[in-house]
Each structure stands twice: as C-alpha cells, then as structure tokens.
Structure 1
Amino acid sequence: MLSLSSLHAMSWPTLALDGPPASVGSVLLLTAAVVVVSCLIIRRRRLHTDGQSCEEKTSPETSTSRKRPKTRARSLRPSNSDCGEQGPAPRPSSKRANAQANHESGTSGDEGLRMGKRLKQVYDAFLVLDVEATCVEGSDFAYPNEIIEWPVCLLRWKDANVKGKTRELEIVAEFRSFVRPTWRPQLSEFCQALTGITQEQVDSASTFPEVLQDFRKFLEEHELLDEAGHRLARFCFCSDGPYDIRDFVVKQCFISKIPVPAWLSGDVMDVRRVVGEWHDANTAAAVERRQVNVGAFPLPRRMTFPIPRQLHALGLEPFVGRQHSGIDDTRNICRLVIELARRGWRLEPNTAINPNRRWPWMGKRGKVLEEYYS
C-alpha cells in the first residue's frame, strides 16, 4: 500500500506547461469535464446519424406510398348521390347533414348533375299556399290583414318505388277562391295595385269561414281528411316565408271569430328558408370538392330573397305569371318544391304555428281595436 509520503513524491500532470503543479481536486474536475464534453459530442453525432437514417428510410416516394392506402380508403367512401360524380363525398356537418346526405349540388344545367338520389320522404302530399291579404301603403306584418285570396296547389309523389323512396312530385289539383273581407270591406288602391285583385272580385266572394268549409271539402275529395276532420294521409302545408299561416290565417280566424282548424295549425314548411339552406349547403359542398358552381345565384347566407331569385338559385326558368297574384305565386312555389325534391332534398316542416298568438290591436271576441288604425 502506498503511503502518504510516497504519493507526495510522485509527479502529477500540470494545468499549464509553465505553471505550478495542479492539486488533486483540480485534476479530478478537469477529468470530469473532459468526460462530459466527450459524451455530449458522441451523443450529438449519434442523433445526427439517426436523423439522416430516418430521412433515408422515409423518402418522399416511400412516405407517399405508405400514406396512400389511407387516402384511397377515404376516397372510396360511397357518395350520397347517384349521378356517378367522381371524387370523395364531403362529410356533413350538423347543419348541412340534410344537404350533404340528400342532394346533388351541381347547377351547370346538366340533367345528371342536378338529379339527387331517391329518398323515403316523411309526407305523402304537400299543400302549397300563398294567400293575398288586405293592406295599406306603409303597413307591415303587424297590421290586421284580412285574407282576400285563398289559392292552394296539391302536390303528390308519382314515382315511389317498392321501398317507398321517391323524388318526383307533381301538381294533381288546385283550389282557388277570393275572400270577402268583413272588418274593412273596401280595398285600398295600394292593395288592388299590388295584388291585382279588384273590389268587384271580393264583393262577390264568400267570407273566410265559408271558403274554409269549401276548402275542407276539397281535402276530403282528395282523401286527405275524413268527414270528422281527421287526417287520412300525411300532408304538410308549404308557403313562401312563415307569414301565410303563422300570421295571416291566425289573424283572419280571430277576426272571423272561429278557431284555427286542427288540420291547419300544424307545423309548416317555409320554402324560402329551405331554398336558402339548400344554397348554403350547396355552395359549401362545391367549395370542398373544388368545383365551380356555375349558374347558382350568389345569395348571401341567411338572406331573405323573393321567389324569382329562388328560382334563379335553383337554375329554373324565370317567374311565370304575375307576382303577388296568389295563384301565380303558389304555382311558382310548387316549382321550387318540385325541384328540391328532384335534387334529393328531404322536405320537412321548419316553422311552428301558434294558433293563440295575439297582436296589440286584438280586443275581445274578434274585435279589432279601432284606435290602432283609425
């Protein structure tokens, strides 16, 4: 065993060629530092080498080939249209599920691109209604309007297959009657110019309760209602905007002192809203598939737009007839509903009706408070 004196006698390395001998502690610190630096250098070289080897193992060709099966698998997801269009179908969001699943977004005029798939629709028939009512210049929807024209078109499916799936609607019957107002029988010049309805036409017409009874017979003849007023088929009222039944019918029933019939107080399909939703979803789908949506009218989201613009948005011919004529408006709304069905859109109600709704001018027992409109 070495003694302490022999250790002192040994020669130790120095920190500098011309400096004094280093102590044992300094030498140990230097040695440890050298070891740590060496380890870091070695580790860095290994990481650099591994990185190069990983890049070589995942070259662009190899990486692409490995990821292609997943991409190809997604592209083979079946499309929701039956027109044979190429490319993956976009996955629907909650608000666009109806459109993404049930319609075809092409609007270039090609019959194949515009045709949607057959659907099992909820309703057997649709009653398209667009009433005309009394008005004065400057009045709004709070005015106590009285119905002066009651036009309805009945739509039914004509191509249901054995599974009940369909997409073709047609007009099978029409009902039209002018209505004589009772609160203010005299039509304003503004109202006559707007609607094209003359004073003579309403003077010789039946009152609203009488027209409603005639219309109920029409529904019975077409096997939509029984004699007790119960529904024999699933039918839905449709209108351009929510106003016809939600506002005009409820007001008129109050003025006529009759309850809103149960078969008329169900939820309604606002066609204007449906066309807007179709356009929104259609445009989004076209962007996702990087297709040019030629022919669709550039409608802002949630915008209220009249029947002529709705027809243009769906690539249909211009408005036929006279605008604000109830029967002409109704027939053109039918064209919209028929086209939406043809494109594979599910037709369902979207507007709730409150038969007990009240306006400030409503008094008791159907009385209109004259102080509001003296």
Structure 2
Amino acid sequence: MMSSKALRYTIKTTLRPSPQIYENLFVLDFEATCDYPEQISPQEIIEFPCLKVSGKTFEVLSQFHHYIRPICNPLLSDFCVARTGIIQEIIDNSETFESIFQQFRIWLHNNDFNNRCVFVTYGNQDFERLLPTQCQISNIAVPSCMRKWLDLKKCIARATGHYPSSLKSAVERFGIKFSGRQHSGIDDCYNMVSIMKLLAEKGYVFN
C-alpha cells in the first residue's frame, strides 16, 4: 500500500551492484514515542515505513508507509514532535498498531517475502526492543521472519572499517547529501538504501 509520498530513488549510477545472496531486502526504520530528559515507557511505534529493495539493482520496488496512533501514551511530547516531525493531528487520525500490522503482513505476502529475503535496520533497536515491546502491548506474536535481520551499521563497519554513529553522519561520510528530514522513518529508509547501493557497487555482499 502506497502512502502519499511517492517512491523516489536517491542514487543513480552506471556501476553494477555485486551479486547478492538475497533476492530482495526489506529496509525498515520505526519511529516511536519518546521524550527527554526522561524517556517515555513503554515506547510505542508511531511510524511504520518499509521499502522492498531489489537485491540485483538496489532499486526500490515497493513501499509501505503508515503512521500509527499509540494507546498507552496517546499525546506526543513536544520533544517527540520536534524530533520526528510527526504532529498530534497525524497521530489522532491514524489507526492503531494492530490494524497497521495486519496491513503490513498482507503487503509482505503480496511482495513475495520468502527465505531469500531479509529485513535491514539501522542498529538493532527496531527489532530487538521496539517491535517486541509493541507486540506485547498489542498482544501480537512477533512473526518468525522478523526475528532476524541485518544491521546496516555492522555492514558499514565490515565494509569500511568504520563503525558509524548517526545515519546522517554515515550518509555524509559516503559523500551523499542526506535526503529529507532526519528521524523521519520513511526518509531514513531511503537514505539507508542509498548507502546499501553504494556498498553493493563497491563489492560488498549483504549477509
């Protein structure tokens, strides 16, 4: 299911990516409720973006993107709004996680997610902490396909010898201009794809 934000491609080059193990890579980056200096507990997912990326060309083939209405802490903090750019009105008019997750499962099925596909995140917190917490809140089992993933930070470290910090700094280290807004989940996903394509063109195999 497409959002109002159209598919876009951040890297265009004549170089051919090296052959990959995975047929498709599903790039995901949650945004969640948050506050500062004291963190909200529990944190709930409020933006759910995922891009299906070809393991041959590293072009984006399909996009899933929805905002989610939290139930434990329904009012966003000023810090969260400033950080993510997600305003209260968007959240108030969104569906809960249970509904969006069901739509996501259908999207995965329609996009042929199989054992030759893998999820890619930037760091481990999306699948190690945020998703299990959210599924516990929503009384949903974490699907087996979402219990393993590739951490793009570690991929970058293996390929370059440098372990990155923020996604923005990682993008700029590769000589790419960061596209969109930092901590917008969908923008972060597209910037991750830009890095992945460059790594593949330099011979890196995602595994």
Aligned with 2:138 (options 256, 269, 285): 256
Q: Deviations over 1:34-74 (max 9, x none)?
A: xxxxxxxxxxxxxxxxxxxxxxxxxxxxxxxxxxxxxxxxx
State the structure with more CA Rg: 1
- AA at the equivalent of 1:255: I
- AA at the equivalent of 1:324: H
Note if 1:214 corresponds to 2:74. Answer: no
User: Equivalents in 2 of 1:254, 1:268: separation in Å?
Assistant: 20
Q: Structure 1: any 5+ residue segments left out of the alignment?
A: 1-110, 159-167, 225-230, 281-300, 349-374
Q: Deviations over 1:197-233 (max 9, x none)?
A: 0111111111111111101111122222xxxxxx3x5
Partner of 1:137: 36
Partner of 1:323: 182
* Contact kept? 2:49, 2:186, Cα under 8 Å: yes
User: Equivalents in 1 of 2:116, 2:75: separation in Å?
Assistant: 39
Shift of the 313–182 alpha-carbon distance from structure 1 to 2, 3 Å rule, reads same
Partner of 2:55: 157
Partner of 1:118: 18
Partner of 2:5: none
Q: SS in structure 2 opposite 1:184?
A: coil
Q: SS in structure 2 opposite 1:169?
A: coil
Q: Structure 2: any 5+ residue segments left out of the alignment?
A: 1-12
* Contact kept? 1:116, 1:343, Cα under 8 Å: no
User: Equivalents in 2 of 1:272, 1:170: separation in Å?
Assistant: 20
Aligned residues: 195
Report the TM-score, using the length of structure 1 for normalisation.
Answer: 0.49
User: Equivalents in 1 of 2:203, 2:178: separation in Å?
Assistant: 23
Q: Deviations over 1:314-335 (max 9, x none)?
A: 23x2101011111111110111
Q: SS in structure 2 opposite 1:213?
A: helix
User: Equivalents in 2 of 1:338, 1:330: separation in Å?
Assistant: 12
- The alpha-carbon deviation at position 118 of structure 1 amounts to 3.2
Report the TM-score, using the length of structure 2 for normalisation.
Answer: 0.87
User: Equivalents in 2 of 1:189, 1:171: separation in Å?
Assistant: 33
- AA at the equivalent of 1:124: E
* Contact kept? 2:45, 2:134, Cα under 8 Å: yes
- The alpha-carbon deviation at position 277 of structure 1 amounts to 2.2
Q: Which structure ranks higher in relative contact order (CA pairs < 8 Å, sequence separation ≥ 6)?
A: 2
Percentage of identical aligned residues? 33
* Contact kept? 1:279, 1:313, Cα under 8 Å: no
- Which protein is richer in helix relative to its size? 1
- AA at the equivalent of 2:194: R
Partner of 1:146: 44
User: Equivalents in 2 of 1:116, 1:172: separation in Å?
Assistant: 17
Q: Deviations over 1:330-369 (max 9, x none)?
A: 1101111111111110102xxxxxxxxxxxxxxxxxxxxx
Q: SS in structure 2 opposite 1:172?
A: strand
